[in-house]
Amino acid sequence: MASSIQQLKDIGESLGLKGTDLASFITGQQNFEREEREKQREEREKEDERREKQRQFELQQRQLELEQAKHKEKERESEDARLEKERQEKEKERQEKEKERQEKEKEREFELQQAKAKEERLEKEKEKERQEKEKERQFVLEQKEKEMQLEQQ
């Protein structure tokens, strides 16, 4: 609505104004237009300010969301690390138990072999003893037989 002085003069004259009344009308209209422009500028500044505040707010929200996401990621990583450590400990424990079981199995196998070897040794000794007794019995029998033959002669 920016009017030139000529336009304002034409409007004022069409309203029948002259002289100081016309000058006051022109000055009044210019002041009115200046005030309107000032109001519009202030409104634009307020709108710009509001937009900037909104932009800052949205930026802060995004930063907060980012920080929360980072925090959640750290928590997840921490939980993953804890679970992995727990899994490794369980695996280590399982391996230790398996090693212990294998050692016990070896020990049991060794004891069985020792018992079997001892049993075989005892069997051999019994067999040797039996054979010796058999030899002795045979010898005694032969001696008796010889004696009998000598007595019969």
In which domain, by residue range, is 64 found? 5-148
Q: Cβ distance 29 to 9 under 8 Å?
A: no
Average pLDDT value for the chain? 94
Look at residue 118 and tell me if it is in a domain.
Answer: yes
pLDDT in tens, 56-82: 999 999 999 999 999 999 999 999 999
Q: To which residue do tokens 């009344």 refer?
A: 21
- Residue 19: which region, alpha, beta or left (left: phi > 0; alpha: psi -120 to 50)? left
- pTM, to two decimals: 0.44
Fill in the amino acid letter for 2: A
Q: What percent of the chain has pLDDT over 70?
A: 98
Asked if 33 and 3 touch (Cβ cutoff 8 Å), the reply is yes
Name the residue with higher pLDDT: 74 or 147.
74
Instruction: List pLDDT tens digits, range 11-46.
Output: 999 999 999 999 999 999 999 999 999 999 999 999
Widest Cα–Cα separation across the chain: 196
Do 30 and 8 contact (CB within 8 A), yes or no? yes
Q: How many domains does the chain have?
A: 1
In the predicted model, is pLDDT for residue 96 greater than 70?
Answer: yes
- Decide if 153 is inside a domain: no
In a domain, 81, yes or no: yes
| Domain-located, residue 125 | yes
